Amino acid sequence: MTTHEHSQPGISMADKIAQIDRICGEARILPVITIAREEDILPLADALAAGGLKTLEITLRSEHGLKAIRMLREQRPELCIGAGTVLDRAMLKAVEAAGAQFIVTPGCTQDILEAGVESALPLLPGISSASEIMMGYALGYRRFKLFPAEISGGVAAIKAFGGPFGEVRFCPTGGVNESNLKSYMSQPNVMCVGGTWMFNSEWVKNRDWARIQACSAEALALLD
């Protein structure tokens, strides 16, 4: 299969790489959100957005994921809503139907990579090795999520991947927090980071939206 063989008409891999660059460039920090309670969907998104984090990855790790994507796309159209923890074609189709604007996977299989080529939405595949990068590279992918970032080598791995994969850029996720955020973002091949530290699960449980807003703003301020 060639890179563009199954692409949607008019939406090349180059177009989708440009979309990922714009989404990640504007986000800088991508909150990776698993919704535990349906009533938290809007106030959590509002708190993060008030702190400056307006691009959100809603995972399918809970039963509320698809509903959260649909609700946010309908009721918060000013936000950019992606779908995370997409594991197979069926989940990819479901998040497309829910209105997701981009798709993130925790790892990659040949099938999910090919589904991403076929999709009209940009896909950010998860990788943790050079071999997985090469699988995606062969299909035209140049943007990846390094996951789980810290236990997959962290900043040192990002630097090492920069040698053989000069065109590739990463969104490290997994173990990224306020203490290592700047180290990751200072790497020329890092376009944004994903994380959860700015909305601690206890704060969400206790509906401490003001604290989440403040922590989001503090996280972004570290990058200024």
Number of domains comprising the chain: 1
163 within domain boundaries = no
CA–CA dist 4, 113 (Å, integer): 13
What's the N-to-C CA distance of the chain in angstroms? 43
The first and second tokens of residue 93, run together, are 């189709």
Encode 144-180: b = buried (16+ Cβ within 10 Å), e = exposed: bbbbbbbebbbbebbeebbeebeebbbbbbbebeeeb
Q: Where does the pLDDT of residue 4 fall: very low under 50, low under 70, confident under 90, or very high at 90 and above?
A: very low
Sign of CA dihedral 26, 138, 173, 49: positive
Amino acid identity at 88? D
205 within domain boundaries = yes
Catalytic residue among 57, 150, 159, 205: 57
Domain CATH number, residue 73: 3.20.20.70
Active site residue 57: yes
CA–CA dist 122, 141 (Å, integer): 10
Whether 34 and 69 have beta carbons less than 8 Å apart is answered as no
Could you list the residue range(s) of the whole structural domain that residue 214 is in? 13-125+192-221
Checking if the pLDDT of 1 tops 90, the result is no
41 within domain boundaries = yes
The structure's pTM equals 0.94
The first and second tokens of residue 91, run together, are 């989940």
CA–CA dist 220, 217 (Å, integer): 5
How far apart, in Å, are the Cα atoms of 66 and each of 1, 69, 84, 124, 133? 31, 5, 10, 18, 28
Active site residue 145: yes
Catalytic residue among 16, 54, 132, 145: 145
The first and second tokens of residue 16, run together, are 């989708």
Q: Mean of the per-residue pLDDT values for the chain? A: 95
43 within domain boundaries = yes
Whether 44 and 208 have beta carbons less than 8 Å apart is answered as no
Q: What per-residue confidence (pLDDT) applies to 2?
A: 39
160 within domain boundaries = no
Model confidence pLDDT, tens digit, residues 56-111: 999 999 999 999 999 999 999 999 999 999 999 999 999 999 999 999 999 999 99
178 within domain boundaries = no
